[in-house]
């Protein structure tokens, strides 16, 4: 048996603690005799202050330390924001459950009451997400989208600071609802069909050890199958398109009552001048196939061309391998092992 205490790992930010507490409240409804103990864990991503540095640092920055604790059995359950979780998990770990998803939309929070479409030209809007910056530049080319790093409460403080140059910020609706459920912060929802959310946005991942059947059974009552299918499709397309925080890719799945799943992808160049939005629909029980079909569609419409602009240029070839005038390596630079053996023997004779 797992015992009466379940240690639950999570980041130590206010939002992470709030959403973990909400998950635990739901679990207690079904398991009142279990004692769930939160274990805040500081991650590498929490130590980075620059958005550019965060993008350079790679994937999994907000989950690696928590996953190590899970593998080392210091905790039995990890609670993450789904969009922080890389498309591929470490060996031995699985997503044990996905609770019902919250609103996946992005929202605009203005310094005053003015909506984003009414802001004067040159107004500054803060967001560190390349996806949001690229898509919003295509919609509002006269606005300035600037880097804004920090937790949600930090971003709101920067917006409200007396000398702030920001006219507004763009954040995830789910984060605002979870951290400030009764605060009444005025938000402007941005249409999901245009500002397509990040893969997994609004969803929570409950990560466990793959062999921990008891924990899987504990989580089963709060698992939401439709949310899980949508998230699986989103993460599969993200994996196929090399998406993440370094790629301006939005991908969002929506389930219907008749058992269908509509998956929408949006990719934009960083300047917002090129943008593509495509959708694909299939059955809810085969989300990976929908992602595969949508990958084919977006690649046909130019997704790889946009991605190629984002990849770093290959390093210059060293002088030792520089081709000669005829396009081949010069004789003086060829390896002796590459010379015909027959000629070498003839010289020795």
Q: Which residues are identified as catalytic?
A: 84
Residue environment code for 13-39, b if the CB has 16+ CB neighbours within 10 A, otherwise e:
bbbbbbbbebbbeebeeebeeeebebb
- Dihedral sign for Cα atoms in the order 236, 239, 244, 249: negative
- Dihedral sign for Cα atoms in the order 303, 305, 307, 309: negative
Coil, strand or helix: which one is 250?
strand
- What tokens appear for 96 in the block? 């044990």
Euclidean distance between CA atoms 159 and 142, whole angstroms: 20
β-bridge pairing 35-40 and 5-10: parallel
Euclidean distance between CA atoms 219 and 97, whole angstroms: 6
């Amino acid at each position: 048996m797992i015992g009466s205490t379940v240690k639950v790992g999570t980041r130590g930010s206010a939002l992470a603690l709030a959403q973990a507490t909400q998950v635990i409240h739901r679990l207690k409804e079904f398991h009142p005799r279990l004692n769930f103990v939160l274990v805040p864990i500081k991650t590498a991503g929490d130590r980075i202050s620059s958005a550019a540095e965060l993008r350079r640092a790679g994937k999994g920055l907000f989950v690696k330390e928590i996953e190590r604790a899970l593998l080392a059995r210091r905790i039995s359950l990890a609670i993450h924001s789904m969009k922080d979780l890389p498309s591929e998990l470490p060996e031995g770990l699985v997503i044990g459950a996905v609770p019902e998803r919250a609103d996946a939309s992005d929202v605009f929070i203005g310094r005053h009451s003015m909506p984003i479409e009414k802001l004067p030209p040159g107004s500054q809007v803060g967001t560190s997400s390349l996806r949001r910056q690229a898509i919003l530049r295509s919609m509002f080319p006269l606005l300035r989208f600037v880097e804004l790093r920090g937790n949600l409460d930090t971003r709101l403080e920067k917006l409200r600071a007396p000398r702030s140059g920001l006219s507004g910020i763009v954040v995830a609706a789910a984060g605002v609802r979870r951290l400030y459920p009764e605060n009444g912060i005025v938000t402007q929802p941005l249409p999901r069909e245009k500002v397509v959310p990040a893969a997994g946005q609004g969803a929570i991942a409950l990560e466990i050890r793959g062999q921990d059947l008891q924990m899987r059974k504990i989580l089963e009552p709060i698992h939401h199958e439709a949310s899980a299918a949508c998230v699986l499709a989103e993460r599969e397309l993200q994996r196929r398109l090399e998406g993440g925080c370094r790629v301006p890719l939005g991908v969002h799945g929506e389930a219907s009552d008749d058992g269908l799943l509509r998956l929408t992808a949006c990719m934009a160049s960083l300047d917002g001048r090129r943008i593509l939005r495509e959708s694909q629909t299939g059955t809810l029980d085969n989300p990976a196939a929908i992602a595969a079909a949508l990958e084919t569609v977006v690649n046909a419409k130019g997704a790889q061309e946009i991605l190629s602009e984002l990849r770093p240029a290959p390093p210059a070839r060293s002088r030792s391998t520089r081709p000669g005038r005829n396009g081949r390596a010069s004789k003086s630079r060829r390896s002796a092992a590459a010379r015909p053996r027959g000629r070498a023997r003839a010289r020795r004779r």
